[in-house]
Amino acid sequence: MKKLIFPILTLVLICFVVFEKCSDTVNDKAFNAQMDSLNHANDSLKIVIAKDDSVINDLNILDAELNDLVLHQKTKVTTVIKYVESKKNTIDLMQDNEVVQFYNNRYPTDTTSTPLVVAKPVLVASAKDLVELDGAKELIKIKDTIIGLDSSRLVVKDSVISKYQSKEVNFKTIIGNQDVQIKGWQKQYNVLKLENTKLKVKSKFQRIASYIIIGGLGYLTLVK
């Protein structure tokens, strides 16, 4: 029995040392570096998204201002139309001298004070046509302005859409990074769980080994 004690104690001691030397399998440094990198990437993307939100807000304000200008121009269209109709009604009520004065005011380099050579109805109709022509010219200017404003609004809308598309890409990237983080934490949890099980087994073995070594040494002491 005494001869078996030494090999048994030697084997137990070797196993004890081996278990003690076993290093943890959890690579905390690499895992933490990966998580920090993903967090930094997400924080950077959130800053970009916040900047995009600010730009979108400014573009929406600009679009609202352009829309107000368009509405103002449309109001001017109504004003011009009412003015033309009012002026035509005024011409219908003009006396002969007033019709002459209308043409003199319109064509100051070709004035006349002589009685009307042609029939008054013809001159009145011509005057009304001239008023309508003036109104049409003004409406064309307004329409051109509206077209320009609408073109500017279209550019603004395209910019807003572009920013929303950029935000969508960034949000998808953030979600992808978070998915990687979740999988990383799940993997880390499984590794830690396995490591905890190994530590429990290691602790039990070391406890048993300690008892065996102490018992063996005690037995050798008594045998001597």
**Cβ(53)–Cβ(166) under 8 Å?**
no
Average pLDDT, the chain: 82
Quote the pTM value: 0.63
Single out the residue of 125, 142, 152 nearest to residue 64, CA to CA: 152
User: So what's the pLDDT on residue 26?
Assistant: 54
User: So what's the pLDDT on residue 112?
Assistant: 56
More confident residue, 31 or 78: 78
Side chain identity, residue 1: M
pLDDT higher than threshold 80 for residue 209: no
Q: Under 8 Å CB-to-CB from 223, ≥6 apart: which residues?
A: 2
- Quickly list H helices, the chain: 2-21, 28-92, 96-106, 120-223
Q: What tens digit of pLDDT does each residue of 14-65 get? A: 665 665 555 455 567 888 888 999 999 999 999 999 999 999 999 999 999 9
Q: Under 8 Å CB-to-CB from 15, ≥6 apart: which residues?
A: 205, 209
